[in-house]
Amino acid sequence: MKKTKLEGEQYWSQRYRDNRTGWDLGIPSSPIRTYIDQLENKDLKILIPGAGNAYEAQYIYKKGFKKVYVLDISPIPLEQFKVRNPEFPDTQLLHEDFFFHRSSYDLIIEQTFFCSFPPLQGQRSKYAMKMVDLLKTGGKLVGVWFDIPIKEDMEKRPFGGDKDTYLSLISPHLKVDTFEKCYNSVPERMDKELFGIFVKE
C-alpha cells in the first residue's frame, strides 16, 4: 500500500476512527454475494473501489478469484482487511484516489461507493466516466445503489438517489443490462437497494 496522504483521506480515516460507518454491514452484501456465486471465470480481474472493510473482496478471494483489487482513500480499512486476510497480496491493496487510479478491469463491484459522493451533478458524472475508463471492452460495473431520498445535509452520508437519477448518470456511458429493486437485500435494507449490471460496449 502507498503511504502518501490523499485529498479526502483525513475525513474518511476519522470516520473509521470514530466508528461512524453506518453503511458497513459487517458481512458481504447479499445481492453481490449472489452475483459472485454464479460467476465461473476465476481469471476475471476485479476492482472494488471505495471498498472500506471489503467483506465482498474477502468473500470473492476465498472463492478462488485471485485477481481482486481493493481500493480505498483511507489506509485504515485496508490495514484492517490485511489483518483479517494475511494471505491477501499487499500489491492488490490500493491506497489511492479512485479518480487517479490507472488500470483496466473485467469487473468493477459497486457497494456503497457511489453514495459517498455528495449529490452534485459534476461529481456523480465524473464517477460514471471514470468507470468507463477503468473497464475493459465488455467489462461490467455490477453492484448495489441505495434507493433512498437524497438528504439536503451534505455531511449525512450515505447520499441516495432513485432509479431514474442513476440511469441518467450511468446509461449515457454504459449499456444497461439490468437495474431493478433488489429482491434479496438484508432485512434492514429491503426496498432500499437497486441491483445493477452495466456493460462497456
Q: By C-alpha distance, which of 166, 176, 112 is closest to 141?
A: 176
At residue 191, the pLDDT reads: 83
State the residue for C-alpha cell 476465498: 62
Residue 80 has φ and ψ, to the nearest 5°, of -65, -40
Q: Count CB neighbours of 194 within 10 A.
A: 21
**pLDDT over 80 at 30, yes or no:** yes
- Can you read off the three cell numbers belonging to residue 154? 451534505
Q: Which has more confidence, 121 or 41?
A: 41
Q: Are 73 and 16 in contact (CB under 8 A)?
A: no
- Report the distance separating Cα 19 and Cα 164, nearest Å: 32
Residue 83 has φ and ψ, to the nearest 5°, of -65, -45
Chain mean pLDDT for the chain = 85
Distances (CA, A) of 163 to 138, 170, 171, 179: 23, 11, 11, 8
**pLDDT over 80 at 143, yes or no:** yes
pLDDT per residue as tens digits for the range 80-130: 889 999 999 999 999 999 999 999 999 999 988 887 776 666 777 888 999
**pLDDT over 80 at 9, yes or no:** no
pLDDT per residue as tens digits for the range 63-85: 999 999 999 988 888 998 899 99
At residue 181, the pLDDT reads: 94
- Report the distance separating Cα 101 and Cα 94, nearest Å: 9
Task: State the DSSP code for 189.
Answer: G
b/e per residue 102-120 (b: at least 16 CB within 10 A): eeebbbbbbbbbbbbbeee
pLDDT bucket at 177, cuts 50 / 70 / 90: very high
**pLDDT over 60 at 153, yes or no:** no
Q: Are strands 193-199 and 135-146 parallel, antiparallel or unpaired?
A: antiparallel
**pLDDT over 80 at 158, yes or no:** no
Q: Are 176 and 198 in contact (CB under 8 A)?
A: yes
At residue 155, the pLDDT reads: 59
At residue 110, the pLDDT reads: 93
pLDDT bucket at 2, cuts 50 / 70 / 90: very low
